[in-house]
Chains A and B, each alone.
Chain A
Amino acid sequence: GQNIDQPTEMTATEGAIVQINCTYQTSGFNGLFWYQQHAGEAPTFLSYNVLDGLEEKGRFSSFLSRSKGYSYLLLKELQMKDSASYLCAVSRSGTASKLTFGTGTRLQVTL
């Protein structure tokens, strides 16, 4: 089976940096997605990591370690609009259409 773990909730201050972790256990791992979902809205794609390492995209960066079954999403210079749920999702080789999602991390950015 598959198991994806991420913290349920996090709180951080505007302007700060926050790291949201995701650990997974799965066979045939292919890649890992991060999505952002504001309340009442569609999830939106943030990043996709296949290889080990850090990928930076503006204020958001995503890291993957395949050997450790670990990823994190790093958000810098936090803004109030970053308050949302962040979903970690794993895809498996040969079944790339089938994403398995974690329960999501609800991030609250405060003043």
Chain B
Amino acid sequence: ETGVTQTPRHLVMGMTNKKSLKCEQHLGHNAMYWYKQSAKKPLELMFVYSLEERVENNSVPSRFSPECPNSSHLFLHLHTLQPEDSALYLCASSQDREQPQHFGDGTRLSIL
């Protein structure tokens, strides 16, 4: 059971498409995160939002654009992606940045 919900669970898109990943947390947390998980690689932190303000951007290419309209929702807008962007994208939230993070089930993204 998770209080962090991600949609869609699976996404296949071409390199010229534009799509968005959605994350919603029902835990009343103030911080939200996007991670990328590729096979045989560590989880890579992409973005951190605290109280709807982006506090960290981990040198992520501009073809990934995050949006946090409120403390419960986080989006990752995708455009002109590359095949190497195929991965599992995980969203997480925490009460504040000192507390353990709770993860969603992720979106499995495949770029054709």
Contacts and interface: CB of A to CB of B under 8 A. Distances in A.
Interface of A: 4, 33, 35, 40-45, 48, 87, 89, 96-104
Contact of A4 (B31, B42, B102, B106): B42
A97 B43 contact: no
B103 A43 contact: yes
- The DSSP consensus for interface residues of chain A is strand
Given A42-B90, A103-B40, A103-B41, A97 B55 contact: yes
A101 B35 CA distance: 11
Contacts of B48: 97-98
A101 B50 CA distance: 20
Nearest to B45: A98
Given A42-B2, A42-B90, A99 B102 contact: no
B69 interface: no
Nearest to A87: B43
B100 A33 contact: yes
Interchain residue pairs A-B with the least CB separation, the first 4: A97-B97, A42-B103, A101-B43, A101-B42
